[in-house]
Structure 1
Amino acid sequence: MNYSRLATKFASGNSLRSDVPLTDSQIMRVAPSIFAESEHESRSEQYTFIPTNLILDKLRQEGFQPFMVCQTRSRIEGMRDFTKHMIRLRHANQITGKQANEIILINSHNGASSYQMKAGVFRFVCQNGLVVGEDIADIRVKHKGDITGNVIEGAYEVLDTFDRVDESREAMQAVALSDEARHAFASAALTLRWDENKPAPVSPTQILRANRTEDVSNDMWTTLNCVQENLIRGGLRGRDAKGKRTTTRAVTGMDQDVKLNRALWVLSEEMRKIIA
């Protein structure tokens, strides 16, 4: 693998995704809170501070490599070095293929988050990362006690769930949806992205539209990926509640991205079970 290739920007100035493992210098430029040297002054004496970069170094020693990082923005002066951040990692045996299973590590040093680990799937063709639903992997470690050991153990627990992730993906690929079912799925997805009291500016047909020939299929997995990509990336033209022309915005907020992705996965799994 050629590790000299450059990383590419993903979503916003506070995010970076690469097709090769990221270096510390690359990570520092977009997510300095990962390298915080202490917790925020608002934390109590009971708070155990372990810098995320130390956890990352330990995970690297265990064969996990970072391929995407981001952190949230803050309008509070001096808070940038402590805000919530996310790292998406792959284990050495999960790097090849059309999709890559990823461990999603979330943390903060200002009390906004415990250490969290979730399962994710990255699809190379559309460059978007799905977040798997809570029922498969959602591990949380409080800022107390043996944080490093518990996070490493949690990473392996998530790694052990990847067989179930693969089974779910294969099961979705095996389910063919009727036009009516695909429309119903897209309609439900729109309510996850926009408030029910505020009509979506685009139609189910628009978010079902394939952006490449390999996505022209009616199976559940491909339908999920088309809808997810169109909702996350934005750029769709429509009309707002007042009838004015508008273009949908990309989902760039870390929390919103994770929440929407997980909700779409759960929606897909439940629909698959009903149809199967």
Structure 2
Amino acid sequence: MHTQATLATRFARNTFVMRSDTPLAEDQMRRAAPSIFATGKHDSRSERYTYIPTIEVLRGLRREGFEPFMVAQSQSRIEGKTEFTKHMIRMRYQGHTAGQLQAKPEANEIIMINSHDGASSYQMLAGMFRYVCCNGLIVGTVSNDIRIPHKGNIQGEVIEGAFRVLDDFEAVDASTEGMKALTLEPAEERAFATAALALRYGERDEGQAPAPVTAEQLTEARRFEDQGPSLWLAMNRIQSNVMQGGQAGRTVQGRRTQTRPVGSIDRTVSLNRALWVLAEEMRKLKS
């Protein structure tokens, strides 16, 4: 396992990301997500808009044992606004030694989203990171979704929100183990992939051009460790292909193409959560 952070790279046309297998330092985060360090709100916000200083929240969470392993930030075409745009931080609670954490194939994460330009409320979500494939899953309905509007005296709520999400990880772990223990039939896996295809590319009515890839392509394993009949592995295969792109497909005009990765913060969150909800509902149906 290497220890260097992946350099800030373009995550999509308007998003940059940095991730690491060790906690990120502030100078590393600043390179990819300078809006984390904004010292105030954008000029477009009114006096009623409460500025939530992301970096101060992050420093407070670090004192409580949370460490950042990934940051992402949206860019802006408006001059001077990039320093205030939406950003995302994925944090892990370091309550054990590094060796104990690495003994598990997944790490629970708290995902923090904020902006200083009115594009987002302050949010905290539950997530999970799978080491073998660098998948950054986002949990659906088994955990709290903390949303704090930029109004009033809210500094005390944000760190409390992190521990409320942390309390939910027992339910998240139980859901994960249930998915690992459940075997899907090939037809059930195709049904899951068909629903995921519609989430990614929209419903296709009769007469419309098909999606650039097939449901069967979404079930393809990118690595040996992803092969297997469990619901957990099927969800991870499909999530990797949906989110990372790179699969051979066809454009509406029939030309060969490669699917694009999902880049925007909003789309990343919504698709990941929807895929988790699909898997959780299938687990309930088959239990």
TM-score, scaled to structure 2: 0.91
Matches within 5 A, 1:98-247: 98-197=105-204, 199-247=210-258
Aligned pair 1:78/2:90, yes or no?
no
Aligned pair 1:12/2:10, yes or no?
yes
Deviates more, 1:88-97 or 1:35-44: 88-97
Unaligned runs of 5+ residues in structure 2 are none
Matches within 5 A, 1:21-60: 21-60=23-62
8 Å CA contact 2:18, 2:70 repeated in 1: yes
Report the 3-state secondary structure (helix = DSSP H, G, I; strand = E; otherwise coil) of the residue aligned with 1:12: strand
Shift of 1:136: 1.5
Deviations 1:208-260 (A, max 9, x none): 11112221111100000000001111110011232221110111111111111
Aligned pair 1:266/2:273, yes or no?
no
Report the 3-state secondary structure (helix = DSSP H, G, I; strand = E; otherwise coil) of the residue aligned with 1:37: coil
CA distance in 2, matches of 1:11, 1:155: 28
2:65 maps to what in 1? Answer: 63
Shift of 1:27: 0.5
In structure 2, give the amino acid aligned to 1:12.
Answer: R
**Percent sequence identity over matched residues?**
54
Deviates more, 1:178-187 or 1:205-214: 205-214
CA distance in 2, matches of 1:121, 1:165: 9
Shift of 1:73: 1.5
CA distance in 2, matches of 1:240, 1:146: 50
8 Å CA contact 1:186, 1:207 repeated in 2: yes
In structure 1, give the amino acid aligned to 2:109.
Answer: E
Shift of 1:135: 4.4
Deviates more, 1:143-152 or 1:48-57: 143-152
8 Å CA contact 1:11, 1:252 repeated in 2: no
8 Å CA contact 2:8, 2:31 repeated in 1: no
How large is the RMSD of aligned CA atoms in angstroms? Answer: 1.7
CA distance in 2, matches of 1:61, 1:24: 14
CA distance in 2, matches of 1:16, 1:199: 34
Report the 3-state secondary structure (helix = DSSP H, G, I; strand = E; otherwise coil) of the residue aligned with 1:81: helix
What number of residue pairs does the alignment pair up? 274
Deviations 1:155-196 (A, max 9, x none): 000000000000000001111000000011101100010022
